[in-house]
Amino acid sequence: MTTGVLEYLTVFALAIFVGIEVVSKVPSILHTPLMSGSNAIHGVILVGSMLVLGAAHTGTEEVLGFAAVVLATLNVVGGFTVTDRMLEMFRPRQQGGAPGERGPARPADGPPAGSGQ
């Protein structure tokens, strides 16, 4: 194994440990902003993987570059899907409407309309 590959594997292993430690310390109230930041980082990773694929010369480099683009794309799409589903939980539901549709606005003072009070 060459020295360069060993250095890359060492940095990769250290990044895994640091990432686990950092993410495990995040309180649950900050998970949605963390996901938004993570989506932005995955977008940068996608651009980087496309640049690496564009500079590939051998078949192995092209296959690895293509795999990097596919996995980065899955990260971006999955991150936005998870964020959208998390935000969907905070939207008010309409009685008898389709899930996810916003309900009618209620006045800030007094009981909800049609409550009989």
Q: Name the band, by pLDDT with cuts 50, 70 and 90, for residue 32.
A: low
Instruction: Record the pTM.
Output: 0.53
Average pLDDT of the residues in 74-92: 82
One-letter amino acid for residue 45 of the chain: I
Residue 70 has pLDDT above 90, yes or no: yes
* Backbone conformation region of residue 112, classed left if phi is above 0, alpha if psi is from -120 to 50, else beta: beta
* Residues 36 and 84 sit within 8 Å (Cβ to Cβ): no
pLDDT digits (tens, 9 = 90+) for 35-51: 777 777 888 888 988 99
pLDDT tops 80 at residue 20:
yes
